[in-house]
Amino acid sequence: MKKIIHTLCLMLTAMSCLAQNQSFNNVLKQAKKENKLIFVDCYFTGCIPCAQMDENVFPNALVKAEMDKNFLMLKVDIFKDKLGDTLKVQHILNGFPTFLVLNGDGKLISSSSGYKDPGNLIALFADARQKAGQHKFLSGFSTSYNEKNIRHFTSNSVKPEKG
């Protein structure tokens, strides 16, 4: 019985990861089709500035109008969503909220962390649109992630000095 439950849990996890990957791919396709950029809000439950963005900034009429006109929004819980694991590694996320702006090919145009008031967020949007128009992308980041290529450290990796 435990084996069956374990197998079902693994299947559900795999299906969830596949669905998330498909939804991200769908957003990429939609961005290309609609000639929009992708605004990725990387947050986590319990993050006070993240909650303040949801309560005070994203509902702002000017922010909402700019978002609707030029962006597709993707919210990613960085600690619960499988896509969050990928984004943390790909884009070296370490402060929250983190906002990524990608084009339809998944190329990173902009990365910014911390609370933004409506004016600062609109400025971030304008800067990202300008950079996208000039085909300026941030380098050093990958549009794909292959876990096999990431070196995993174990407790045996570092040997204490003798002394």
Q: What is the pTM of this model?
A: 0.71
HEC states along 15-47? HHHHHHHHHHHHHHHHHHHHCCEEEEEEECCCC
- Could you tell me which residue, 93 or 69, shows the higher pLDDT? 69
Written as six digits, the tokens of 92 are 């070296």
Q: Which amino acid is at 125?
A: F
Written as six digits, the tokens of 31 are 């961005």
Q: Is the pLDDT of residue 9 over 80?
A: no
Q: Which amino acid is at 49?
A: P
Q: Is the pLDDT of residue 1 over 80?
A: no
pLDDT digits (tens, 9 = 90+) for 102-148: 999 999 999 999 999 999 999 999 999 999 999 988 865 555 555 56
Angle between the N-to-C axes of helices 82-91 and 2-34, in degrees from 0 to 180, rounded to the nearest 10: 60
pLDDT digits (tens, 9 = 90+) for 35-73: 999 999 999 999 999 999 999 999 999 999 999 999 999
Among residues 83, 70, 49, 59, the alpha carbon closest in space to that of 124 is found at 70
Collect all residues with Cβ–Cβ distance below 8 Å to 94 and sequence separation of at least 6.
113
| pLDDT of 24 | 84
Q: Which amino acid is at 117?
A: D
- Give me the half-sphere count of Cα atoms (radius 13 Å) on the Cβ side of residue 79: 9
- Tokens 């396709």 belong to which residue? 29
38-58 burial, b for 16+ CB within 10 Å, e for fewer?
bbbbbbeeebebbeebeeebb
- What band does 21 get if pLDDT is binned at 50, 70 and 90? very low
Q: In the sheet where 108-113 sits, what is the strand order?
A: 71-77, 37-43, 98-102, 108-113
Whether 98 contacts 62, CB under 8 Å? no
Q: Is the pLDDT of residue 15 over 50?
A: no
Q: Is the pLDDT of residue 90 over 80?
A: no
Using omega within 30 degrees of 0 as the cis cutoff, is the peptide bond preceding 160 cis? no
Give how far the C-alpha of residue 115 lies from the chain's centroid of Cα atoms, to the nearest Å.
16
| pLDDT of 37 | 97
